[in-house]
Amino acid sequence: MIPDGFKKNMLSLLGDEEYHLLENSMSEPCVQSLRLNILKGNEESRNRIIEKFGLEPVSYEKTGYYFNPETAPGRRPYHDAGVYYIQDPGAMVPGAILTGRLFGTDKKCADAGGLKILDLCAAPGGKSTQIAAAMQGKGILFSNEINRSRAEILSRNIERMGIRNAIVLNETSEKLAERFEGYFDAIVVDAPCSGEGMFRKDQEAVSQWSEESVGICAERQTDILENACRMLKPGGVIVYSTCTFEKEEDEDVVRGLLSRHSDIKMTDTSFFKKEAEGVRDGFSGCEDAVRIWPMYFRGEGHFAALLEKEGEGVNAFPAGGYEDASVVRELKALESFLKESLSKDAASRILGSKDRFRLFGDNLFVMPEDTPSLHGLKVLRCGLHLGTFKKDRFEPAHALALSLNECDVKNVKNVTEDEAESFVKGMTLEGDGNGWVLISLDGFSLGWGKASGGKIKNHYPKGLRIPG
């Protein structure tokens, strides 16, 4: 049952004819889509996935595809391997606007070197993984989520997609604004909202809606957006987005910000609109904003506005916060693992970054280049988890496996989909040789195994194993 207050607000905004189109769209089936992960595999292996699942391209996101729900990609081991991220087409819009603004709509020649990007309300990770793919391992992506349990889900998705250059934080926007004033080149604020755009797919969003909640959300969105502006350097851009239709949470929040900040302006999104069929302009002087209505668009509702801070600025934050792992602990065990298990190029790439190694207990991470001090912040992930020191040996992390391709390792075990399903349940595999083996499904890394005596012992993390 559609709430009466929502109906009243939408009739005022749309008029009778368009409102009835909206209401009718609420009973239509949801569109299903995913993004292929261009950080993993190669063009040939990704093309095989397109053919296997019968994927249909999304026009405005070069890695986005519609899929038939009957193919159930979320229940296949390709999902565990980080081959794709299942994401609603509407939810792809803010990330597509940001990456299009920064790198061009093609994104094939993206250069994110030196860029500092913040996804401020990042869980469960759709926009962060979308942006990270466009960054291609360069620059630093800060992914923040205030809710601890959701932040842990975010961190797992960052790992699953093989992302090396992400810092996952669990902080308030206020604390981050105090620490990072004028630091970021780009920020995404996909703000918590009343969730009206999810009415069609989430009955709980309908039952929890109230006119009071709209006002509460607008106040919270205003505060978060203000803190984002503090963190944006001159010349930087913000994408402000919600999954609600309410003008109070969308255009009114943006217009309020513009009225308080003469150096912030709304900027052109025509580069996106010409690629996306069924997109509508914003209301109330915010025509450059993007509105996604489910009666016109293949996806759920969304709003996005692109904002820019005038002027020019630099990221005047020194790199820091490193704990020199080569001093804290001998790296011979790591070097031995790299020599025995990885290609020469991959081993050199990792050792060439040892000035950015950091230890958390016995866990070794390599942080993105130019990472500022993170002292005093709640950090769930600080770059790529390489592995763990255990007495006189080094055990590679699952995150490292997921970040590697077949050419990066000496020993690869190619598995069928059935074998992959057994592997993610914790089963032992048949295999020759000795030592660490990268388990690979159709050219996509799935995890580590350790070969000995004709068997490959399963090292897929117990906490991620699928019961069966």
Residues annotated as catalytic are: 243
| Residue 121 to residue 243: CA distance in whole angstroms | 13
- Contact by Cβ (8 Å): 331, 354: yes
- Contact by Cβ (8 Å): 103, 305: no
Strands of the sheet with 33-36, listed across from one edge: 56-57, 64-66, 33-36, 84-86
- Contact by Cβ (8 Å): 224, 120: yes
- Tokens 């050419």 map to which residue? 407
SS3 content of the chain, % helix, strand, coil (to 5): 35, 25, 40
| Residue 22 to residue 16: CA distance in whole angstroms | 10
Please tell me whether the peptide bond between 124 and the residue prior to it is cis, using omega within 30 degrees of 0: yes
| Residue 253 to residue 69: CA distance in whole angstroms | 36
Within 30-181, strands assigned E span 33-36, 56-57, 64-66, 84-86, 116-119, 140-144, 166-169
